[in-house]
Amino acid sequence: QTIRIDGKAIAQEIKDEIKAEVELLLEHGLRAPHLTVLLVGSDPASVVYVRNKAKAAEYTGITCEVLRLPESVSERAVLREINFLNSLPDVDGILVQLPLPPQINKRTICDAVRPDRDVDGFNVLNVGRFCVDQEAFMPATPSGVLEIMKRLKIETFGKNAVVCGRSKNVGMPIAMHLHSNGNATTTICHRNTPQEELVKFTRAADIIVTATGVPGLITSDMVSEGVIVIDVGITRMLSDQGQARLVGDVDYAGVSKKASMITPVPGGVGPVTVAMVIKNTLIAYKNTLQKNSLSDQFKK
């Protein structure tokens, strides 16, 4: 019996847990955590992602403000905005929605966000801390993948894991976690992995996490019976009737016949990713609260 992993239900569980915590904070007379999202331009996918994050925040009681800047905005103006947000005492999480227009250097912007407010985990300090097993914010998508594994009690210790995709925000942190904290023997495959090699690795895998944006990359002949498959890929495709639909990297119909657990697209990793941004905002808030109460104690 194949388990179809219900990302929406997992996301709902996470949001309900956050909501309960926020209610408790308010009952104690504290303010609600706050997330500010910076959206540059009006890329349609980014607009949808930002709307979903704002909706999720609102559901939990976390306040969320979306600051929109024009597509033509200069890097200096974005930096000025980030520095201002960094200085506001009531902002807990700052998220810059990617991609950014070409006149703006993504790395400069990501590194300008205060690491303790960097709820998307893109600041180089968070990336580095995570790589050396220190406490850090991890980007929402890999956090979502790990949260799914944790909640479904997917055993990784000693297993063979294959991660397809090595991007710094998605594939790399997932592989990093699986081999270190997860103690899995982890193989990273990427665009230069020859197809015949990819097949060898995926057939030997107990767990496959794929994040490439290549529809149909993983087919049923490439996997073993009982494999666990997490599909992070999202590609917008047009049907013959001209309707847009989202597809993952996995041929779901075929692979789900052999898999023991599998995430669908849509409704798998995506909703959990959104919930993790909100969870990180609550964590940032609680870290500040703890820091402030420690410094109060010190003053006494």
Chain positions contacting ligand NAD, by CB under 6 A = 141, 164-167, 169-171, 189-191, 193, 198, 211-214, 217, 232-235, 269-270, 273
Residue 91 phi/psi, 5-degree rounding, is -105, 120
Catalytic residue among 15, 97, 116, 279: 97
For residues 171 and 182, which CB has a smaller minimum distance to ligand NAD in the complex? 171
Q: Is 103 a catalytic residue?
A: no
| Rounded CA separation 185/156 (Å) | 9
Query: What are the CA-CA distances from residue 69 to residues 108, 146, 149, 263 (Å)?
Result: 17, 33, 37, 35
187 phi, psi to nearest 5 deg: -110, 135
DSSP, collapsed to helix, strand or coil, labels residue 50 as helix
Minimum separation from the CB atom of position 111 to ligand NAD (A): 18
Cβ nearer to ligand NAD, comparing 36 with 143:
143
Is 93 or 171 the residue whose CB approaches ligand NAD more closely? 171
**Least gap, CB of 136 to ligand NAD (angstroms):** 18
Query: Is 55 marked active-site?
Result: no
In sequence order, which ranges of the chain are alpha helices (DSSP H)? 7-27, 44-60, 75-87, 106-112, 124-131, 140-151, 171-179, 195-203, 252-255, 269-299
List 3's β-bridge partners, or say none: 261
Minimal distance, residue 109 CB to ligand NAD, in Å: 16
Whichever of 87 and 195 has its CB closer to ligand NAD, that residue is: 195
User: Rounded to the nearest whole angstrom, what is the least distance from the CB of residue 59 to ligand NAD in the complex?
Assistant: 18
Indicate which residues carry an active-site annotation: 53, 97, 120
